[in-house]
Every structure is written in structure tokens, then in C-alpha cells.
Amino acid sequence: MSKSHWRHAQGVLTFGAKPLLAGILNVTPDSFSDGGSLPTVDHALRRAEDLLNAGAHLIDLGGESTRPGATAVSVDEELRRVIPVINAMHRRWPLTVISIDTCKAEVARQAIEAGASIINDVGGGRWDENMLTVVTTSGAGYIATHSLDRHHRQTIPADANPAVIVSDFLRNLSGRLIQLGVDPQRIIYDPGVGFGKTAEQNRQLLHAAPVWSGLERPLMWGISRKRFLAPDCLPADREPAARQIYRHLLTQEYPQIWRVHDVSASARSIATHPASC
């Protein structure tokens, strides 16, 4: 099975020697980094245009914050936030790849109908029993994420090897989808940095190259501005630490996609790193 292709509802993304970039577009009032910064569809479109112009290969759109302690929103409210943005983006840039960042099956289903082509399921199939059915029937690409309970109270045991725990979970989730008839080339993996892991476990995951190289699919890394990078800093001030880790990931030889807030800076890091030259 090829690791270089990721099939989604409207085509194929191809991985090369350099990571792909997923630009984060949050239309939420309470996301940890940029909540409330995009109050209208026009604001969201301008931000999406900036991300695409900076080199994003896809836009990852979220309508509900998944940070620890965030207030859950209803299906109707999440749909109210994301569907008009997807409709507007699809009209303006019909070839742009949009992933819907949601743990709700109904939101995923309607987002794919509106023009999104990838489901970024931070719940890893655990938080909504209908999610895997939507993945199976929609033809969407799927980002299988390792996470535990919805409120991040459950954690990986301190004496466990987090890379083994996470890789086993991702293989099992992928196996369930394949049994349901999902083409394995529609699936990529996200180790879920920051979801039910300590800061040290997050670091161990980032340095577990032999484990990730042994998996059959590409990996998405979502570390941008997360608290473990610099707990005492504001989210935007964590970017230098994130870029340092992303540059380390460039030395790991398996297909990757990075989920980032600052696409422009990430693209520059890739372009100027010796491994990319």
C-alpha cells in the first residue's frame, strides 16, 4: 500500500519529501489561540485566503473548541458556524481541499455534503458512535486521532510507552474502518499530541520516529501553539518552540502533514531546512 497518496471525497493529496500544511481556520468564540477572531463568514474567507496564499495544501475548519475545559456546543450551533463558511469557500475556491474538524457525526455528514472532503475526528471514533458510519458512507478522507475521554480527564498511564499505546490504538481504529469497507488510502493518523498526555509523553511521541516510520500511513502532527510547548507563554508566543519541533520532524523519514496556525512561517521553515534543500 502506498504511503504517498491520501484519497478524499474530491480527489487525492500526494505526499512528497516535504510535509504538507493544513491551515487552521477556527470559527469559534473560545478556541485557546484564536477564539472569536473570525466572527463572520467574510472574516473567515479572508483568513482562508491568507492561509492558501501562504502555501496551505488544505484548510482545517473547526466550529467547536476541543481544548480542556471548553464548553460543548450543540450540533445545530456547530452547523450554524461551519456550513456557511464551507459553502462560501466551495463557491469561491471549488478545488480547495477542506477538512472538517469535528467529533460529531452529523456535523461531519453535512459538512461533506456542503463541500468538505476530509473528516478530522479528534474523537477517534469514540465520542460519537455514528462517526465511523459517516466515514464509511461519505467517501471522505479520515484523520484518525488518538484521544481518550471527551474532557481529557483520562490519560495514558505514567508507566506506559505512549508511542506503543497510540500506535496500537491507531492501527486498531484503521482496522475497524477497513473491515467496514473503507479504502485504507483514505486514512491518515494523528497521534493526538495534547489529548490525554503529559508534557513528557507528548515529547516522547514527537521523538518516536521508528514507531511512526513502521506505520502504513502518513501522520498528521498538530502541535501548533499548544500549552506543553511553553506553559507560561501566550499561545502566539509559543510559535518559536513549535517551529523548532517541526524542524526536528523534518528529519524523520515518513510522510507528514502539519496542522498549523502560521502557514507562512512553517513554509519558510520547510524551505530553509537542510533536509528540504
**Can you name the residues that pair with 62 across neighbouring β-strands?**
26, 101
- Sign of the C-alpha dihedral, residues 200, 206, 207, 212? positive
d(CA 198, CA 68): 13
Residue 85 has pLDDT above 50, yes or no: yes
Q: Can you give the pLDDT at residue 68?
A: 63
Q: What angle do CA 223, 229, 232 make, to 5 degrees?
A: 135
Q: Can you give the pLDDT at residue 274?
A: 58
d(CA 138, CA 64): 21
Architecture of the domain whose range is 5-276: Alpha-Beta Barrel (3.20)
232 vs 63, higher pLDDT: 63
Residue 67 has pLDDT above 70, yes or no: no
DSSP string, 90-149: HHH-TT--EEEE-S-HHHHHHHHHHT--EEEETTTTSS-TTHHHHHHHH--EEEEE---S
Angle between helical axes of 105-114 and 75-92 (0-180°, round to 10): 20
- Kindly provide the b/e burial profile for residues 23-34, where b requires at least 16 CB atoms within 10 angstroms of the residue's own CB: bbbbbbeebbbb
- pLDDT tens digits, 5-49: 999 999 999 999 899 999 999 998 744 444 455 678 999 999 999
Choose the catalytic residue: 217, 226, 238, 243.
226
The x, y and z cell numbers of residue 262, run together, are: 502560521
The x, y and z cell numbers of residue 176, run together, are: 475497524
d(CA 228, CA 241): 10
Q: Can you give the pLDDT at residue 277?
A: 41
State yes or no: is 226 an active-site residue.
yes
- Sign of the C-alpha dihedral, residues 100, 106, 77, 89? positive
Q: Where are the domains of the chain?
A: 5-276
Q: Can you give the pLDDT at residue 30?
A: 46
192 vs 238, higher pLDDT: 192
Q: Can you give the pLDDT at residue 33?
A: 45
Q: How far is CA 225 from CA 32, 72, 176, in A?
A: 9, 21, 32
Least confident of 82-96, 200-214, 222-236: 222-236
Q: Report yes or no: 203 and 226 within 8 Å, Cβ to Cβ.
A: no
Q: Can you give the pLDDT at residue 151?
A: 62
